[in-house]
Amino acid sequence: MWNRALLCILYFTCTSVAWAAPARYALDAQGSEVRFTYTLGGVDGAGTMPVSTADIVLDFDNAAASRTAVTLNPNKAETSTGLITSTLKSQDVLNTAQYPEIVFISRSVTAKPGGAVVTGDVTVRGVTRPLTLEATIYRPEGSAPGDRSKLTVRLTGAINRHDFGASGYPDLVEETVTLDIRARLRLSD
Radius of gyration of the chain (CA): 20
Instruction: Tally Cβ neighbours within 10 Å of residue 155.
Output: 22
Hey, how many other C-beta atoms are within 10 angstroms of the C-beta on 162? 11
| pLDDT score, position 20 | 53
41-84 pLDDT per residue, tens: 999 999 999 998 889 999 999 999 999 999 999 999 999 999 99
> What 8-state DSSP symbol labels residue 11?
H
| Residues in Cβ contact with 41 at an 8 Å cutoff, skipping those fewer than 6 apart | 172
- Model's pTM, two decimal places? 0.84
pLDDT for position 120: 97
Domain boundaries, the chain: 22-187
Successive 10-residue mean pLDDT values, the chain, 189 residues? 35 39 90 93 95 91 94 95 95 97 97 93 98 94 92 95 96 96 89
pLDDT value, residue 21: 82
Is the domain 22-187 a CATH 3.40.50.300 member? no
- In whole angstroms, give the CA distance from residue 187 to residue 8: 30
